[in-house]
Structure formats: structure tokens, C-alpha cells
Structure 1
Amino acid sequence: MLTKPVLTLSLAAALIATVGATSGCAVARDQQTAGSYIDDAALTTRVKAKFAADPTVSAMAISVETLKGTVQLAGFAKTSQEKAMAEKLARETSGVVAVRNDIAVKP
């Protein structure tokens, strides 16, 4: 059985190794930097907030994902007007570089 100081040192070493391995200048998704990942998350949040505030767009039926400033919309809209409004709201969001509108209109 390990003594308390050895166990504590082992846990500390494991923690340092984990932090060292997970922190770096790039995170997942195509070597995106941590800063741009945070910016993309903020853009996604702002677009979703606009959807929630707009009476014509269903924030629950349309998903929003952002990568390097490009917003991708997916899901289902009840009308073509809802689809167009979702795209318009996304394009008007400060910081959005481009919008991919993959929303399908329900028949």
C-alpha cells in the first residue's frame, strides 16, 4: 500500500500530466485555437438568443453550430419564411463570417 506522501505525489503528477496533455495551443475540431473556439461558442450563443427573441423562428427546432466564424443552421422550419428569417438573423449577428443554411422546410 502506498503511503500518504507517495500517493499525494502520484496524484499531483497525474494531474500535471493531464493538464499538460489537454492544454495547448489547439483544441479539437481541425486544430482550432482555444480563442477561436471560445469566439465560435459566443457566436452560437448570440445567434440562438436572436432566435429565442424572434416570434417567427423556433429556437428549439433549429440547431446552430459555428466553426471559424461560419454558422451552420440545421433542423426543420414550418415555413420558408421561418427558414429565411433564421438565416437573416444569423447573418446580421456581429462576428459571423458566413452562414450555411441547411434548414429543411416541413411539407
Structure 2
Amino acid sequence: MKTRLATACFIFSTLIAPVAAYAADQDADRMHPMTYVKDSAITIKVKANLADEKMSSLAHILVDTDSKGEVVLSGYARTQADADKAVSIAHATEGVTSVTSKIKIKKDD
């Protein structure tokens, strides 16, 4: 009985943790629906431009945009050249005002 209760509590807490983390996201610039749509449109454009390069390393790069068109790139690239290429692509995307790179280099094992 105690094992079943402990298992149920563990599963519940595992499932609720991402919801709590999402709820804690307090981006003030995303409070207005049109701002969120604009952010999403820029993010989608950057992701599409990265995908057009057909470099598998760029698939591991995450894109986040704020209301001013500022893009933050994070994730992993195989080489510094790939990371620099991602920054260049993001800069060239319509609507992007600045790019911050938090991309880490991760060599294939």
C-alpha cells in the first residue's frame, strides 16, 4: 500500500513539475496576445531559415524572441562555424533587431 502511494506521488510530482515551471515563466512582454503572435512569427522565421540550411547541427539550436525582436539562440552546435552561421542567419531574418548567442559547442562522441 505504501509503495503504491509513493509511486503515485512520484508520478504526480513528475507530471506537475513542467506545469509549475511553465507557470513561473513571467515574460511581461508576452502578456498581450499580439505581442506573443509577433514574437512567434519571428521565431518561426528564424527556425525556418535555419532549417533551410539543411545542416544537422543547426537542428539542435533553440530560438526565443522577445517583443522588441531580440532573439536568443541556445542549444548545441558541432563547431564554432556552425554557431556563427546560426547567428548570421538569425541576424539576416526580417524583424530581428539583435541576436544573443548562448550556443555551446558539443563535438560528436
Do they fold alike, i.e. is TM over 0.5? yes
1:26-50 Cα shifts (integer Å, max 9, x gaps): xx62153221210110000000001
Contact 1:76/1:105 (8 A) holds in 2? yes
Match of 2:77 in 1: 77
1:41-97 Cα shifts (integer Å, max 9, x gaps): 000000000111103463421000111111110001000110000000000001001
Residue segments in structure 2 that go unaligned for 5+ positions in a row: 1-25
Q: Whole-Å Cα distance in 2 between the matches of residues 55 and 31 of structure 1?
A: 32
Q: Percent identity?
A: 32
Contact 1:50/1:89 (8 A) holds in 2? yes
Contact 1:76/1:104 (8 A) holds in 2? yes
Q: Whole-Å Cα distance in 1 between the matches of residues 92 and 29 of structure 2?
A: 27
The structure having more radius of gyration, on CA atoms, is 1
Match of 1:65 in 2: 64
CA-atom RMSD in angstroms: 1.6
- TM-score w.r.t. length of structure 1: 0.68
What SS class does the counterpart of residue 55 from structure 1 fall into?
coil
Q: Name the CA shift for 1:74/1:46 in 2 (closer, same or farther; >3 Å).
A: same
Q: Does 1:29 align with 2:47?
A: no
Q: Whole-Å Cα distance in 2 between the matches of residues 99 and 76 of structure 1?
A: 16
Q: Whole-Å Cα distance in 2 between the matches of residues 35 and 44 of structure 1?
A: 14
